[in-house]
Amino acid sequence: MVAGTALALLGLLWMLQGTDLIRIRPILCVADCQPVTGGSPGWLAAGVVAFVVGLAVAGFLPRRRQR
């Protein structure tokens, strides 16, 4: 459940970065690093997938009951 929640939160962060609602400066730059500006469809898609998988792993999505 903890891993699923962490993955869902990471996916949420990626979605917000992909839509350009959150901007985080690069960490551990070796050269002259520039922050990424503008939205990114790739990060948005990765965020949506990670968020849904994280919810499924954490058990928040409805599951079928076996009889």
Please give the average pLDDT of every successive group of 10 residues along the chain, which has 67 residues: 90 91 77 73 92 88 63
Residue 67 lies in a domain: no
Residue 34 lies in a domain: no
Residue 46 lies in a domain: yes
Residue 13 lies in a domain: yes
Residue 56 lies in a domain: yes
Distance (Å) of CA 60 to CA 9, 29, 55: 13, 37, 5
Stated pTM of the model:
0.73
Q: Tell me what percent of the chain is helix, strand and coil, each rounded to the nearest 5.
A: 50, 0, 50
**What is the number of domains present in the chain?**
1
Residue 31 lies in a domain: no
d(CA 3, CA 26): 25
Q: Provide the pLDDT for residue 3.
A: 86
Q: Provide the pLDDT for residue 45.
A: 94
d(CA 34, CA 15): 20
